Amino acid sequence: MGFVRFLPDKAYARASRLRLVQVLSAGYDQVNIAGARTARIPICSNGGASLSGSGGAYDNAHSGAVYRKLVTFHPNVAAGRWHQGIPRTVDVLELEGKTVGLVGMGNIGQQVARRLQGFDVTIIYYDPIRRSP
């Protein structure tokens, strides 16, 4: 049996003692909101509780890995060859002085921006809700 994505309307109607649905994610895309609303059962999200810190850290780590070409260099380093066999066209780049664009300035976006400040970058972002400087 697979994962049940939504509680059907009938389940909400029969759950007479159900007082709350707690979602273990930031979004509501896995919830039958209309069914819960009809049954007058509130839904709470877990937005930012689990990923705001670690999500931002992983985003920054991945950015650094891409800029430092870790995927390209890893096989040689693991084999003890270090710089042998790496084409001269593979440039290792630095974040310093670059402009970094972020899409979304929610909990994770703010964590990423805060961590990037230490790399002396210019941060620009798009979010329908503007943040104060």
Give tens-digit pLDDT for 57-89.
Answer: 767 777 777 777 787 778 888 888 776 766 666
| Residue 35: both structure tokens together | 């069914």
Name the pLDDT band for 126 (thresholds 50, 70, 90): very high
The helix or strand, by DSSP H or E, that contains position 10, with its residue range, turns out to be helix 9-14
Checking if the pLDDT of 3 tops 70, the result is: no
Interval 22-64: pLDDT, tens: 887 667 777 888 888 999 989 888 765 555 556 667 677 777 7
Determine the average pLDDT of the residues in 108-119. 86
| Residue 113: both structure tokens together | 């921006």
Residue pair 66/58 in contact by the 8 Å Cβ criterion: no
**Greater pLDDT, 50 or 127:** 127
Question: Which domains are seen in the chain, by residue range?
Answer: 9-44 (no CATH), 52-126 (3.40.50.720)
Query: What are residue 100's DSSP bridge partners?
Result: 123
